[in-house]
């Protein structure tokens, strides 16, 4: 088997202290192979967001290590984490997180601007991505002029713009009706294959789990057997 893209060991994250102390992650350990789509499944409050944030370097654990594409995320300083988020890891959030005053195309182009890609190249890449998510006809529309499912497809295109190695999606279908949610998850599934990206998707929707290669179940901050 090839080396894992993601390797998590002994991860602990605690919030608060004393009687209000919450163990959001307790000794989480797992590997994700390159090209895998792994679902993180658990009810609300079980630690899914904490896990994704620590893996993506948005949050620091109290203990344990995370390695992504050969880089020990847990050993990076703030500059290193910023580079990781620009070049290696991309996020898709439940609430889409698009910039309201920018068009769909401009939103998708944001990570490419951050990388200083020349305009012509950026426009080519944006057009390709909008086509991949089936929104080429909506390039000029702002988020408020798009449906929820369309907004999430823009967010997915934006996440993939910089060709990340790892896509982290935190309940990406949580705000969508079940049919649209299924379509968005199927799109993620297809893009993981075609773009050669690895993905970790938090969800509590059992229908979506079927589209993953594998599910990690989390209860009270602890990964439990299937």
Number of residues that bind ligand ADP (CB under 6 A): 12
* Residue 16 binds ligand ADP, judged by CB under 6 A: yes
- In Å, the largest CA–CA distance within the chain is 57
Q: In the window 171-210, what residues touch ligand ADP (CB under 6 A)?
A: none
Which position among 2, 17, 19, 44 is part of the footprint of ligand ADP (CB under 6 A)? 44
Which distant-in-sequence residues (6+ apart) come within 8 Å of 218 by Cβ? 28, 40, 41, 42, 46, 47, 48, 51, 224
Task: Pick the closer one to Mg ion by CB: 161 or 169.
Answer: 169
Q: Name the segment binding ligand ADP (CB under 6 A); options: 27-35, 46-54, 179-187, 190-198.
A: 46-54
Give me the helix-helix angle, 178-195 and 148-161, nearest 10°.
20
Chain residues binding Mg ion by CB under 5 A are 48-49
What DSSP character marks residue 55? H
Q: How far is the CB of 75 from Mg ion (least distance, A)?
A: 25
Check binding of 24 to ligand ADP (CB under 6 A).
Answer: yes
DSSP per-residue codes, 113-124: HHTT--HHHHHH
Q: Which residues bind ligand ADP (CB under 6 A)?
A: 15-16, 22, 24, 42, 44-50
């Amino acid at each position: 088997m090839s080396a894992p893209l993601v390797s998590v060991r002994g991860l602990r994250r605690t919030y608060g202290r004393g009687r209000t102390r919450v163990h959001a992650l307790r000794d989480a350990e797992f590997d994700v192979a390159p090209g895998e789509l792994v679902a993180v499944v658990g009810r609300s409050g079980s630690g899914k967001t904490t896990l994704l944030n620590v893996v993506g370097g948005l949050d620091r654990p109290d203990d344990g290590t995370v390695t992504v594409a050969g880089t020990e995320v847990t050993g990076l300083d703030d500059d290193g984490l910023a580079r990781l988020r620009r070049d290696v890891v991309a996020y898709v959030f439940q609430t889409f997180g698009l910039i309201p005053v920018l068009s769909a195309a401009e939103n998708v182009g944001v990570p490419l601007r951050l990388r200083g890609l020349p305009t012509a190249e950026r426009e080519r890449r944006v057009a390709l991505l909008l086509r991949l998510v089936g929104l080429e006809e909506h390039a000029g529309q702002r988020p408020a002029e798009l449906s929820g499912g369309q907004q999430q497809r823009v967010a997915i295109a934006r996440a993939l713009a910089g060709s990340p190695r790892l896509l982290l999606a935190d309940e990406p279908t949580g705000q969508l009706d079940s049919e649209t949610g299924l379509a968005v998850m199927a799109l993620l599934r297809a893009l993981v294959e075609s773009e050669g990206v690895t993905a970790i998707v938090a969800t509590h929707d059992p229908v979506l789990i079927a589209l993953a290669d594998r599910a990690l179940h989390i209860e009270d901050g602890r990964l439990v057997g299937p």
